[in-house]
Amino acid sequence: MHGTSPPVVETTFNNYCLYNTSVIELEFDEKSGKPVKATYNDVVGPAKEFIKLLCLLGVLYSIVEITGYAPFGTVEKTGEGMTWVFHPKHLANNFFVAYITQLNLAASTSGAASTVSLLLGKKTKKVTNNAMLESTSVSDFWGRRWNQLVHGALKVRPLVDFMHLSSQFFK
C-alpha cells in the first residue's frame, strides 16, 4: 500500500510494521526516520491521565445513572413539531452525554498509549485533546483535536486494502 502511509513510515519494513500494527499511532523522527523512544514521562503521564479520567468517569456515571441519563431534567414532547429538540434541558443532556463519550475515548486511548509506550519503548501521539471544551473553531475541533482519533483508527485501513485489491481484480 505504497503512498498511503507517512513517508517516514515507509523508509524501513520495521517502521511500516510498527506503524500499522500499533493500536495507538507512534511518533517518528522526521530526520532519522526512526520511532521516537519513550521517556519515563511518556509512559507515566498517560497512565496518570487514565487513572484521573477513570475516577472522573465514575463520578459522572453515578450522576447520569441516578438521573436516568437526563441530569438536567426531561422535556415533554408536546405538539406536532420538533421544537422540544432545541429545548435547553435537552441540549444540555445531550452535551453531557457527548462529553462523557469524549472522556471514555480519552481514558481508553490514554491507557492504550501508556501500555504501548511501556511495552514497545516508543513514544505515542496524543489521540484526543479535549475537543469539546478547548476547540476554538470548527476546523480546530475536527482537524487538530478530534480527528486525531479518526486518523489513528483508519490507518490500518482494511477497507482501503480491500477496495484496492478488488479494483485490481475487477479491471
DSSP sequence for 22-84? -SSPBPB-TTT-SBPBP-HHHHHHHHHHHHHHHHHHHHHHHHHHHTTS-TT------SSSSGG
Quick: pLDDT tens for 62-72. 999 999 989 99
Least trusted range by pLDDT, from 14-18, 114-118, 142-146, 151-155: 151-155
pLDDT score, position 4? 63
pTM: 0.77
pLDDT score, position 96? 93
Pick 25 or 92 by higher pLDDT. Answer: 92
How far is it, in rounded angstroms, from Cα 1 to Cα 165?
A: 10
How far is it, in rounded angstroms, from Cα 145 to Cα 129?
A: 5
Least trusted range by pLDDT, from 9-13, 109-113, 163-167: 163-167
Average pLDDT over residues 45-62: 95
How far is it, in rounded angstroms, from Cα 31 to Cα 112?
A: 27
Quick: pLDDT tens for 122-169. 999 888 888 888 888 888 887 777 766 666 556 555 556 666 666 666
Instruction: Tell me which residue of 136, 117, 119 sits closest to 127, measured CA to CA.
Output: 117
pLDDT score, position 1? 46
Mean of per-residue pLDDT scores for the chain:
84
Phi, psi of 25 (to 5 degrees): -65, 130
Is there a contact between 157 and 136 (Cβ–Cβ < 8 Å)? no
How far is it, in rounded angstroms, from Cα 115 to Cα 26?
A: 12
**How far, CA to CA in Å, does 58 sit from each of 3, 118, 155?**
43, 26, 31
Query: Is the pLDDT assigned to residue 2 strictly greater than 60?
Result: no
Per the listing, cell 514497545 goes with 120
Q: What letter represents residue 113's amino acid?
A: A
